[in-house]
Amino acid sequence: MAYDLVVIGTGPGGYVCAIRAAQLGMKVAVVEKDKTFGGTCLNVGCIPSKALLYASHLFEDAGHAFAGMGIGVSKPKLDLAQMMKFKDEGVDGNVKGVDFLFRKNKIDAFRGKGRIAAPGKVEVATGNGKNETIETKAIVIATGSDVARLSGIEIDEKRVVSSTGALALPKVPERLLVVGAGVIGLELGSVWRRLGAKVEVVEFLDRILPGMDGEIARQFQRVQEKQGIKFRLGAKITGIDGKGKTLKASVEPANGGKAETLEADAVLVAIGRVPYTDGLGLAEAGVALDNRKRVVVDAHYQTNVAGIFAIGDVIAGPMLAHKAEDEGVAVAEILAGHAGHVNYDAIPNVIYTFPEVASVGKTEEELKAAGIQYRAGKFPFTANGRAKVNRTTEGFVKILADAETDRVYGVHIIGADAGTLIGEVTLAIEIGASAEDIARTCHAHPTTSEAVKEAALAVDGRPIHM
């Protein structure tokens, strides 16, 4: 029996693509090599890290903030095994949800590693050396990405770990060395710092969060340092000696100089992710990759081989679950003859530390480089009533809008619930709204969303509460 669509991979890109295609009346199958659906995001990425970030945040508040609010508790005691169970149960609930959605939408699931045998043919290694061939009109590659490795450093997932291992450390390391000051390194660094580790972050570049708005990154670094995370910028790890009881990492300045040795009980390598394309039969099928091994697609997500499409981390663009999801929807709609489309100017990006960092659209650096005249409106949470009573006053909202037309180009937020606040401004960018449109939209009081409105007023130099 031939399918209309076979999706390889069931991460957020793949499973959403499959469901949307099924909604549009296509006969759909998915191929998954892992035991559970959901890909990196649900199993070893977004979801489990959020469980640990939430639990460790409450652990820290119980230790530090509760007394000030009049909540008397004895010094909280960490039961790491239970916290991991809390995380695993959360993951379990989510991956089962995908299973349920596949059944609800009559999507067939094939378990095993998928390989494109030819356009229209996917071979699934179902175990014991057996293969099953599925025929299909279209194939979507949604295989996502894998941890990027550092040459000369072996990840054993016990002491030298990737994000996967860092989500399941058996005990809190006394000293955790994080390689890479990106989203993953800072989130997981936060988790283990809250649970008691001394955390030091080594970053090759001379700034944290490359690609983020510079002002936001600088302020965020100060906040993190205040919380106790140490940063070593412009430095690189050249090797890890794991022979002794503690790990000895050699660190030297990025542009050369004297090496130093840092001792640690665990090292988290979080230097990024690489597209997952190995063993998919792409070379044999003639599917072109770019110089970073990403699958090359056209504006309709089709590869150079007709009938083979690709979405998500495996193609160019930010490696974000929601970007992959939107591409999954777009490609399903295109296949069904509709006009699927993703607006890459309006994709939010969130870091789930405390406070959170969220941004959408252009940064100040990008606007300057493009020679665009803009106005910036900023509003700090110290002047927001709700943030004040909650004592979550760290951070600010910054809105960047065109100097002439007032159209919103970018919004950058540090704040307790920045990830939630970014939603309304993403909509604003999507529909071409101006800062004034945000400012003239009624915002509930008392909420931290009022800081967004005030920042929009500040674009025109007229915030009320400042």
Catalytic residue (one of 64, 300, 445, 465): 445
**Cα–Cα distance, 76 to 83 (Å, whole number):** 13
Q: Is the peptide bond before 463 cis (omega within 30 degrees of 0)?
A: no
- Shortest Å, Cβ 406 to other proteins: 5
Residue number with CB closer to other proteins (353 or 434): 434
Residues in the site for other proteins, rule: CB under 8 A?
Answer: 299-300, 302, 334-341, 402, 404-407, 430-434, 436-437, 440-441
Q: How far is the CB of 405 from other proteins (least distance, A)?
A: 3
How many Å separate Cα 18 from the centre of its chain?
21
* Segment holding 15, helix H or strand E: helix 12-23
The CB-of-145 to other proteins minimum distance in angstroms stands at: 26
Distance CA 169, CA 146 (A): 19
Nearest approach, Cβ of residue 18 and other proteins (Å): 17
**Are 269 and 150 contacting, i.e. CB atoms less than 8 angstroms apart?**
yes
Residue with smaller CB distance to other proteins, 74 or 405: 405
Q: Please state, in angstroms and rounded to a whole number, the distance separating the CA atoms of residues 318 and 141.
A: 17
Q: Which residue, 5 or 184, has its beta carbon nearer to other proteins?
A: 5
Q: Which is nearer to other proteins, 34 or 436 (CB)?
A: 436
Q: Which of 389, 407, 410 is nearest to 399 (CA)?
A: 410
Residue 331 tokens read as: 């490609």
Nearest CB to other proteins, comparing residues 119 and 242:
119
CA distances from 361 to 12, 217, 320, 352, 451 (A): 22, 15, 15, 18, 18
User: Could you write out the three-class secondary structure of 221-262?
Assistant: HHHHHHHCCEEEECEEEEEEECCCCCEEEEEEECCCCCCEEE
Catalytic residue check, 445: yes
Report the nearest approach of other proteins to the CB of residue 461 (Å): 16
Angle between helices 183-194 and 46-64 (to 10 degrees): 40
Q: Which is nearer to other proteins, 61 or 437 (CB)?
A: 437
To other proteins, the closest distance from the beta carbon of 314 in angstroms equals 20
Whole-number Å distance between alpha carbons of 332 and 434: 32
The 10 Å Cβ neighbour count of residue 389 is 10
Which residues are catalytically annotated?
445
